[in-house]
Amino acid sequence: MLSGIYSLLMAGAFVVLDAVDVAFTEAAVGAGISTVLMLGTLHLTRSREKIPTHGAFLPLAVVLLTGGILLYATTGMPAFGDPDAPVHTHVAPRYIEETPEKIDVPNIVTAVLASYRGYDTMGEVTVIFTAGVGVMLMLGGRKRRRDSDKEDGV
Amino acid sequence: MRHHLVLRVVSKLLIPFILLFGLYVQFHGDFGPGGGFQAGVIFAAGFILYALIFGRENAVKVTPPRVLQALMAFGLLLYASVGVVGMINGGNFLNYSVLRADGVAGQHLGILLIELGVGITVAAVMIMVFLMFTGRGR
Amino acid sequence: MTAFLEHYNYWIAIFLMMAGFYTVVARGNLVKKIVGLNIFQASVFLLYISMGKVEGGTAPILSGKPEVFSNPLPHVLILTAIVVGVATTALGLSFIVRINESYGTTEEDEIQHMDDEP
């Protein structure tokens, strides 16, 4: 499916932008898991889309307007790859300088993920856990009598 | 998928290496690209490949939903309890430097444990979601 | 023209974002809406990662010699966001499967129509 290819291309773009960890994740998640889930959903639902009855002009106008405003806003943003951009001068230099002495793992992304930003990561894991519980509650119940694994239901 | 001989043989060969690669990514995350999130997803991909090729019934035997439920919660609890142990040892929540006498070694231990927790939760959730979707049937 | 050359990463992100936004707004099919949300989400990832890029920098992995690194902070944020994104996508898709079981359709206006009828 196209979205899998899209994710793979996105992963390539991340490698070019020096974010190897992110590229790794995107390739594994986007091209693997989410494509399988999407195909599974299409199998469970109808795969044909109805022809839309209402016109596309209002959504198009809204989208173009929003896009125009956002493009205008980019003129106030720092240039691409600028080392003096605000994002590079706040906490990132401290992470890069302190990691060798204080944590001493070569991969700075892991150090920031697990140690400096441990609270964030714990929140993210909680979100994943909650989403898993949500999917179990939505789809785990028994649907028909002859479900082979109905005693496994939640 | 009873008669796809090539698929069955090739995936039987590949699955151990996928799982091994998942473990490598998990424990090599300190040194190169990788970590709990990626490892969990790769690990889950191995099991999902197994379920796709050999059928859902066999996959449920390998990873029973009850075990997956327990693992989902266990990973998160492992993460949080590392933080609590840090508090008991006199530091802040999720401060790993107090886990060992040497601060740097404590950081290494803390990072290893919480990455393990992340990996377990992510892998269990992904396999669980896949089993739920395929268990729905039509 | 220089404005475009210096900010082309934002322009690409905005194009993708608007493509996803249009899919969400204009399509009535719920699965297509989720696909649109995924495109939107990926554009945000691209925005963050491209902001973290430093001219002449390398991947943030220490290798002994002094180097210029890309900013690791956006990488961390997006790394977790991708996995959270797939988890929430799975939740959304599970809602769609349940809606399809109850209503027999995944079209927004058909569901609305059925709800309006007593």
Closest chain C residue to the Cα of B42, Cα to Cα: C83
**Which pLDDT band, with edges at 50, 70 and 90, does A149 fall under?**
very low
Whether A28 maps to a domain, the answer reads yes
- A152 in a structural domain: no
How far is the C-alpha of C67 from the C-alpha of C60, rounded, in Å? 9
Is A129's CB within 8 Å of B83's CB?
no
% of chain B residues with pLDDT over 90? 14
Q: Which domain holds residue B113?
A: 5-135
**Global ipTM:** 0.85
Least confident of A101-115, B23-37, C68-82: A101-115
pLDDT tens digits, one per residue of B64-103 = 888 998 999 999 999 888 888 888 887 777 777 777 777 7
Tally of structural domains, chain B: 1
Give A34: exposed, middle or buried? Use CB within 10 Å, 0-12, 13-18, 19+.
Answer: buried
Contact at CB, C60 and A109, closer than 8 angstroms:
yes
| Res A151 pLDDT > 70 | no
**Nearest partner of B86 among B111, B67, B122, B64, judged by Cα:** B111
- Cβ A50 vs Cβ C28: under 8 Å: yes
Mean pLDDT of C29-47: 88
Greater pLDDT, C9 or B101: C9
Count Cβ neighbours within 10 Å for each residue of C50-71 and write b for 16 or more, e otherwise: bbbbbeebebbbbeeeeeebbb
B10 three-state secondary structure: helix
Chain A neighbors of B92, CB-CB under 8 A:
none
Question: Hey, which residues does C29 pair with through a beta bridge?
Answer: C107
Residue A33 scores a pLDDT above 80: yes
What percent of chain A stands above pLDDT 70?
82
- What is the structure's pLDDT at B123? 92
Is some CB atom of chain B closer than 8 A to the CB atom of C61? Answer: yes
pLDDT over 80 at A131, yes or no: yes
Structural domains of chain C, with CATH: 7-53+69-116 (1.10.287.3510)
User: Residue B101's pLDDT is what?
Assistant: 73
C92 against C110, higher pLDDT: C92
Q: Answer yes or no: is A130 within a domain.
A: yes
In the prediction, which pLDDT does A83 show? 75
Q: How far is B26 from chain A (nearest CA, A)?
A: 11
Chains in touch with C (3+ beta-carbon pairs under 8 Å) read A, B
Q: What is the pLDDT of residue C66?
A: 66
Helix and strand totals (H; E) in chain A:
8, 0
Residue C61: pLDDT above 50?
Answer: yes
| pLDDT for B22 beyond 80 | yes
Q: Is residue A115 part of a domain?
A: yes
Task: State how far the Cα of A81 lies from the Cα of A104, in Å rounded to an integer.
Answer: 27
Q: What phi and psi, each to the nearest 5 degrees, are found at residue B108?
A: -60, -45
Q: Which residues of C touch A71 (CB under 8 A)?
A: 10-11, 14
Q: 3-state SS string over A88-148?
A: HHCCHHHHHHHHHHHHCCCEHHHHHHHHHCHHHHHHHHHHHHHHHHHHHHHHCCCCCCCCC
What integer pLDDT is reported at residue A120 of this predicted model? 86
Instruction: Evaluate if residue C78 carries a pLDDT over 80.
Output: yes
**Which of A:86-115 have CB within 8 Å of B?**
102-107, 109-111, 113-115
Highest mean pLDDT among A11-25, A106-120, B50-64: B50-64
Q: Provide the pLDDT for residue A146.
A: 43
Looking at chain C, the whole-number percentage of residues with pLDDT higher than 90 is 3
A76 falls within a domain: no
- Give the residue with greater pLDDT, C58 vs B59: B59
Q: In this predicted structure, what is the pLDDT of residue B74?
A: 92
Select, from the ranges A24-28, A86-90, A96-100, C63-67, the one with the highest average predicted confidence (pLDDT): A24-28
Q: What's the gap in Å between the CA of C61 and the closest CA on chain B? A: 7
User: Number of folded domains in chain A?
Assistant: 2
Q: Which range marks the domain in which residue A7 is found? A: 1-46
| Burial class for B134, CB neighbours closer than 10 Å (0-12, 13-18, 19+) | buried
Average pLDDT over residues C72-87: 86
- Residues from chain B that touch C87, judged by Cβ atoms under 8 A, are 125, 129
Answer whether C89 sits within 8 Å of A37, measured CB to CB: yes
Q: What's the whole-number mean pLDDT along residues B25-29?
A: 84
Q: Which residue of A lies nearest to C35 if distances are taken between CA atoms?
A: A3
Q: Which pLDDT score, from 0 to 100, does residue C110 have? A: 82
Cβ contact B60:B131 at 8 Å: yes
Report the distance separating Cα C21 and Cα B138, nearest Å.
Answer: 31
Q: Which among C15, C83, C96 has the least Cβ separation from residue A25?
A: C83
Asked if residue B115 has pLDDT above 60, the reply is yes
Rounded Cα–Cα distance for residues B38 and B84 (Å)? 25
Residues of B within 8 A of A118 (CB-CB) are 83, 94, 114
Mean pLDDT of chain C: 83
pLDDT for the residue B120: 92
Nearest-5° Cα angle at B40, C99 to C88: 25
Establish if A39 belongs to a structural domain: yes
The whole-angstrom distance between C98's CA and the closest CA on chain B is: 10
This prediction has a pTM of 0.84
B1 — pLDDT class (breaks 50, 70, 90): low
Q: Residue range A60-68: average pLDDT? A: 89
Query: Is some CB atom of chain B closer than 8 A to the CB atom of C90?
Result: yes
